[in-house]
Homo-oligomer: A and B are copies of this chain.
Amino acid sequence: MQKKILLTICYNGAAYCGYQVQPNGVTVQEMLNKAAEALFGYPCDVVGCSRTDSGVHARGFCATVTKKGECFLQTSIPAVRIPRAMNAHLPEDISVLSAEEVPLDFHARYGVESKEYEYLIYNGRERNPFFEGRAWHIPTPIDGAALAAMQAAAAHFVGKQDFSAFRAVGADTAPKDAVRHVMSATVTRKGDLISFRVRADGFLYNMVRIMVGTLAAVAAGRMTPEDVLRVLREKDRTKAGSTAPACGLYLDRVTYRN
């Protein structure tokens, strides 16, 4: 009956101050902790794979649920029934998509092998009700050449390198090591929607959003793809683009070691 459960969670982050519990605002973790307590009958800890910022979304966020202060859950509810049972206690903007049993020593955060984010840019001239709060609206048309420049710039993100220039300054929890391994970084377009997908073994604070702000600078002709290489080498945050808004960012997929 002692088991550890890994949840895959989808949420629209618009109404939340990010994932992690904090004193000054409602967070996704707080809602999940409450739903788990309502379901299992005792205080629970829903430990996430990552912190996400205020307003950031997730389609495949991973988190373990355990009894508070323990590394396990005491329950006879089969894993397959947990999603619907937890969803009965969650608001419409958070949904547990699936649940599976994992070893008791599994850690949702330290066991992460890679994370994949998608960032959506809506490039229609006028605002679109269906992308309101779900994409960054850049009304200036991005033509084929500008898109190709974004693609060339994104390719420079790939590799194991120092991303100091793509980390928010003053992040008090910043780890000293800014080397990350970006496995893929691609820009595609479908109609008015431009998608930036990036997968890495880890991300620095605001890293994806600064990457996107930089790609937007490339699209606007204020930077060249080669400038991105230079910025990476110089490791100076002020040389990279601005931080793109949170509403376009989606944590899409998490993989674990083993």
Contacts and interface: CB of A to CB of B under 8 A. Distances in A.
Interface in A117-143: 124-130, 132, 134
Contacts of A98: 125-126
B87 A129 contact: no
Interface string A77-96: 00000011001000011111
A247 interface: no
A126 B87 contact: yes
A98 to B, nearest CB: 7
A130 B10 contact: yes
A84 B137 CA distance: 14
A112 interface: no
A110 B157 CA distance: 54
Contacts of A94: 129
Contacts of A126: 83-84, 87, 95-98
A239 interface: no
A125 B87 CA distance: 12
Most buried by B among A10, A127, A132: A127
A93 to B, nearest CB: 5
Given A97-B124, A124-B97, A129 B12 contact: yes
27 contacts: A10-B129, A10-B130, A11-B129, A12-B129, A12-B130, A57-B130, A59-B130, A83-B126, A84-B126, A87-B126, A87-B127, A92-B127, A92-B129, A92-B132, A93-B129, A93-B132, A95-B126, A95-B128, A95-B129, A96-B126, A97-B124, A97-B125, A97-B126, A97-B128, A98-B125, A98-B126, A130-B134
